[in-house]
């Protein structure tokens, strides 16, 4: 048994996580092994995040979801078998999730996010919300800031995806490469790369900064032109969820397209085309994998305190088939 920073790894765990230990070090793996993660919303995106977090070897993962498995989940929710249609999504995902890594403690919570007291979220090191309303994001983020719990909000609508991170004041170690001249005088110049580990601290704004951010401001025009309309589209889709208390549904495609275009005309008529909402129904599996992989990687970096996390928003734009990181509500 090896002990460091209050965490322990058995010989079997050290063997299982050998490749990861070689990648980011033993201390980082021990931090992962003591991390408690809450994933609220076990749709296709939630399944991708859970898979990667469980395989990384955290202490525990709680899957919080009061919704049932539906036909819409068949597109991307691979943890819940199709035979579980009609049953709770979190419970239906447990067996396959546990098979990924029997060493991780898994729990299914079938209650609603809104029923949870403030103290509930303080039991975790990282809270990740999927499919939440703006009001839910703001409430849980405020609780997490008070308790110094790392907060992520993320979603996928069809082929659009985003994630937002509020890590408050985050400390981490980063390897910085420097070139050192090793040649002697009068010899042909020769240099070597030397990696030095430095400690860094970065502060993150709250989710309120995203809500208050005005993408129509002239100061954002250049980034909007370079990155495309992914942020305005995210704002419209989130507004749709807040008003309708659901996401756009393929069973109501024509009706929902009209509502989305109405919201577009209210919020961002000059930035979003009529065709931008053609592919926002259900969750497309490859996009859930891309966004889920990015979010899970960020959670791993945050928990292990290794490498610089994204600051503070990741957006995936299907028009360019590219993801990019954008800083919203803070200065560089």
Residue 155's pLDDT is 97
**Residues of the chain where predicted confidence (pLDDT) is lower than 50:** 1-4
- Rounded to the nearest angstrom, the gap between the alpha carbon of residue 265 and the centroid of all alpha carbons in its chain is 29
DSSP bridge pairs for 174: 198
Say what the pLDDT of residue 187 is.
Answer: 80
- Which residues is 199 bridged to in the sheet? 173
> CA-CA distance, 50 to 62, in Å (whole number)?
9
Taking the chain, what is the end-to-end CA distance rounded to the nearest angstrom? 43
- pLDDT given at position 238: 97
pLDDT of residue 1: 23
Three-state SS for 275? helix
Residue 6: count of CB within 10 angstroms of its CB: 8
Q: Which DSSP helix (H) or strand (E) runs through 108?
A: strand 105-109
Whole-model pTM? 0.91
What's the rounded Cα separation, in Å, for the pair 95 and 79? 8
Matching CATH number, 17-169+284-326, of 3.30.750.24, 3.90.550.10, 3.40.50.720, 3.100.10.10: 3.40.50.720
pLDDT value, residue 190: 81
Q: In the chain, where are the structural domains located?
A: 17-169+284-326, 170-203, 215-277
Helix (H) or strand (E) holding 137: helix 134-147
Q: Which residues on adjacent β-strands are paired with residue 193?
A: 179
281-332, pLDDT tens digit by residue?
989 999 999 999 999 999 999 999 989 999 999 999 998 889 999 999 887 7
Residue 222, pLDDT score:
92
Residues 17, 79: Cα–Cα separation, whole Å: 22
């Amino acid at each position: 048994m090896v002990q460091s920073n209050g965490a322990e790894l058995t010989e079997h765990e050290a063997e299982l996580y050998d490749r990861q230990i070689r990648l980011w070090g033993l201390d980082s793996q021990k931090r992962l092994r003591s991390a408690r993660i809450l994933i609220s919303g076990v749709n296709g995106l939630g399944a991708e995040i859970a898979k990667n977090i469980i395989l990384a070897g955290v202490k525990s993962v709680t899957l919080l979801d009061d919704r049932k498995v539906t036909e819409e989940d068949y597109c991307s929710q691979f943890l819940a078998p199709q035979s579980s249609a009609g049953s709770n999504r979190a419970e239906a995902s447990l067996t396959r999730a546990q098979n990924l890594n029997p060493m991780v403690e898994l729990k299914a919570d079938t209650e609603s996010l809104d029923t949870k007291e403030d103290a509930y979220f303080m039991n975790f090191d990282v809270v990740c919300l999927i499919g939440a309303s703006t009001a839910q994001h703001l409430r849980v983020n405020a609780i997490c800031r008070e308790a110094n719990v790392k907060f992520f909000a993320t979603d996928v609508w069809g082929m659009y995806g985003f994630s937002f991170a509020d890590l408050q004041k985050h400390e981490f170690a980063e390897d910085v490469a420097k070139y050192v001249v090793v040649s002697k005088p009068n010899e042909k110049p020769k240099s070597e790369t030397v990696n030095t580990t430095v400690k860094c601290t970065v502060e993150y704004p709250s989710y309120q900064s995203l809500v208050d951010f005005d993408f129509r401001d002239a100061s954002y025009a250049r980034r909007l032109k370079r990155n495309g309309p992914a942020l305005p589209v995210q704002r419209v889709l989130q507004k749709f969820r807040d008003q309708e208390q659901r996401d756009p549904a393929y069973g109501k495609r024509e009706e929902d397209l009209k509502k989305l275009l109405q919201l577009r005309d209210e919020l961002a008529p000059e930035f979003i085309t009529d065709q931008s909402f053609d592919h926002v129904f259900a969750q497309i599996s490859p996009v859930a994998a891309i966004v889920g992989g990015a979010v899970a990687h960020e959670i791993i970096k945050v928990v292990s305190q290794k490498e610089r996390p994204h600051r503070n928003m990741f957006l995936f734009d299907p028009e360019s088939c590219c993801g990019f990181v954008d800083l919203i509500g803070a200065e560089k």
